[in-house]
Amino acid sequence: MSERTAPPPATPSPAPALPFVPGLDGVPAAKSSICFIDGDQGILEYRGYPIETLAEHSTFEETSYLLLWSKLPGRADLDKFTRDLASNRDVRFRLIDLLKCLPDTGHPMEALQASIAALGMFYPDRDVDKPEDRYKSAIRLIAKATTLVAAYYRLSTGRDYIPPKEDLSHAANFLYMLTGEDPDPDVARVMDICFILHAEHSMNASTFAARVTASTLADPYTVVSSAIGALTGPLHGGANEQVIHMLQGIGEAEKARPYIEDLITRKQKIMGIGHRIYRVKDPRALVLQKLAAQMIAKRGGDPLLVIAQEVEKVVAEHLGAKRIYPNVDFYSGVVYTAMGLPPALFTPMFAVARISGWLAHWIEQLQGNRIYRPDQIYTGTHNEPYLPVEERV
């Protein structure tokens, strides 16, 4: 028998050249009727309704209904939706035990992600193909998320869990669970508006994470948990907490100019400044700036707003020509600080509001669903020789 040598392995043909867009900047990933943004004009709409209109006239419950079911509810539908949310706020005692087992040094966002993932284990009726299961899951996730955040915050600071009330609004009940006292109606309304402003914002990193997970037909608790994970990063939801640390570090309005000019000179990121989409001031930041002034006027002086406004002034002088302005994170922390809320809760409050938007995208993704499977541009080698371990360098 004649000896035959194996032919050398074929080198793969080079793949067709594909355009590479870092961060998928501007690349459409879905068709959606949930949210519209015009970054040049500073327009943000939920289902066609301007964010300024919703902030002035709507409630978080009504806005959540609008996002989920594509229309503003009539009185009967809104009353039922509000009752369903209120009656589903409490959580199983084992979830409270789970929170007690988490380290006090953890971040509330980590606790929220873990407990939301665990929450779904208690509810077998989470079939994504059944409309009644989708409704029940959406209600539970929106209603219970604030309870989980408030419970972990109190437990991690050595205090007892406060069960929710059913006779308060979503925002007012959250504040009640943090303190054990019914909040001032004006403060509760500011919290309500903040929830509205953070409820949805098109195809950002966390929403994209939610839709990718949803495309696998994973249950909604897993979908929301994955989105929370994406929101934790300082380039996304975590920026609001960093803004407060920056403003507190500046300390006085007179020190804002040298501080910011130094960051600009060194080409360092200014937290809360700039946005991937907006080329004008974020419309949510405009509303939040007014809310901050209202809270400070009501609850007493707070230097952070004055410092923030001075920072904005310096930024406008140096970066206005580049169309770089404050985003939603810049003033949200100032509002929360004026309300007496700690920085550790800023991003979790963003998350519990955004759950309504994530769930709206989850429901939309299920319509004509196709699993996400993007391509890549391979930059590695081929046909590397396999060397015995003794011969490797």
In this structure, CATH architecture of domain 239-338: Orthogonal Bundle (1.10)
Domain positions in the chain: 32-233+344-365, 239-338
Per the annotation, the verdict on 329 as an active-site residue is yes
Cα(16)–Cα(327) distance, integer angstroms: 39
Residue holding tokens 């934790």? 232
- pLDDT tens sequence for the chain (393 residues): 445 555 666 666 665 667 899 999 889 999 999 999 999 999 999 999 999 999 999 999 999 999 999 999 999 999 999 999 999 999 999 999 999 999 999 999 999 999 999 999 999 888 899 999 999 999 999 999 999 999 999 999 999 999 999 999 999 999 999 999 999 999 999 999 999 999 999 999 999 999 999 999 999 999 999 999 999 988 888 788 889 999 999 999 999 999 999 999 999 999 999 998 999 999 999 999 999 999 998 887 678 999 999 999 999 999 999 999 999 999 999 999 999 999 999 999 999 999 999 999 999 999 999 999 999 999 999 999 999 999 998
What is the CB neighbour count within 10 angstroms for residue 88? 18
Residue 354 CA to residue 149 CA, distance in Å, equals 14
Rg of the chain, C-alpha, whole Å: 24
The residue type at 13:
S
The pLDDT, as a whole number, for residue 234 is: 81
140 token code pair:
């539970």
Nearest to 60 by CA among 169, 207, 145: 169
Amino acid at 61: E
Burial class (CB in 10 A: 0-12, 13-18, 19+), 7: exposed
Fold of 32-233+344-365: Citrate Synthase; domain 1 (1.10.580)
Q: Pick the catalytic residue: 192, 219, 282, 329?
A: 329
Strands 49-50 and 43-46: antiparallel
Tokens of residue 109, six digits: 């966002």
Catalytic residue among 198, 275, 282, 361: 275
Q: Cα(318)–Cα(264) distance, rounded to whole angstroms?
A: 8
Q: How far is CA 307 from CA 66, 248, 249, in A?
A: 36, 9, 10
Annotated catalytic residue 90: no
